[in-house]
Amino acid sequence: MKIIKLYTGEDNKSYFTEIDSGPATKQHLGLYSEKIKAANIIFRDFEKNMIFDLHNAPQPQYIVYLEGEIEVEASGGETRIFKPGDILFATDLTGKGHITRTLTDGRSIVITTRD
């Protein structure tokens, strides 16, 4: 399964990279990744046309987009649009950060990996 990771580079700017969810094992209902420890789950609704200027992720967190579209601009220059079914793993806890823009109303699940 493809996951987009947002991380801080050596130049203190945020960048995207594609990662895999890990080795899969085949079970009755499909392929399963390795287990990932989670601390909290947050359900989030968002409205269109909101802008969260340069900021860092508050903790390492997976964001699973269920509805709507979000645009994330990494401070390294690249912009990506996240749609239903996409997963963002935000780990840019330091540095210049990223900008988030809501393109539509939507819904997501935020899964933190530590408190």
Share in percent of the chain as helix, strand, coil (round to 5): 0, 55, 45
Round to whole Å and give the CA distance between 12 and 5. Answer: 15
Confirm if 92 and 8 have CB atoms less than 8 A apart.
yes
Q: What pTM does this model have?
A: 0.92
- Residue-wise pLDDT for 57-114, tens only, equals 999 999 999 999 999 999 999 999 999 999 999 999 999 999 999 999 999 999 999 8
Q: What is the pLDDT of residue 115?
A: 63
- Residue-wise pLDDT for 14-61, tens only, equals 999 999 887 788 888 888 888 889 999 999 999 999 999 999 999 999
Which tokens in the block code for residue 84? 């239903």
Q: What is the pLDDT of residue 81?
A: 98
Counted domains in the chain: 1
Residue 11's domain comprises 2-112
CATH number (domain holding residue 35): 2.60.120.10
